[in-house]
Amino acid sequence: MLVGILFITTALSAWLAFRYNSAFHKRQQLAPQVASAHYAEGLISALAGDAVEYSKKNPAIDPILKAFNVTPAGNPAAAPGGRPATR
């Protein structure tokens, strides 16, 4: 009976090790794609920041920025809500 239990636990351990190893390799294969996505995100963020800076000198680009939902930080017109509270 102990030999049977040993065989079952050995087989289960081998199966779990195989599954972990295959999942690890899948993550390793996805790493370059994830890095590429992070790089593209940084480029898009930099482009959006440059476009916002450009809009300070040339407001004609504002409709394009609004179409892509890009607004400058701290812009009160971009904040949702009505008028500011007064006392």
> 13-33, pLDDT tens digit by residue?
999 988 888 878 788 888 889
Q: Is residue 45 part of a domain?
A: yes
Q: Is residue 59 part of a domain?
A: yes
Q: Is residue 54 part of a domain?
A: yes
What per-residue confidence (pLDDT) applies to 48? 92
Q: Which helix (H) or strand (E) holds 29?
A: helix 2-57
Helix/strand/coil for 86: coil
Q: Is residue 30 part of a domain?
A: yes
Q: Is residue 12 part of a domain?
A: yes
Residues with Cβ within 8 Å of 71's Cβ and at least 6 positions away in sequence, in order, are 52, 65, 77, 78
Write the pLDDT tens digit of every residue in 41-83: 999 999 999 999 999 999 899 999 999 898 876 554 544 444 5
What per-residue confidence (pLDDT) applies to 86? 58
Structural domains of the chain, count: 1
**Which has the higher per-residue pLDDT, 62 or 87?**
62
Look up the domain containing 54 and give its range.
2-69
Q: Is residue 83 part of a domain?
A: no
Q: Is residue 22 part of a domain?
A: yes
Extract the tokens encoding 67.
């179409």
Cβ–Cβ < 8 Å for 70, 51: yes
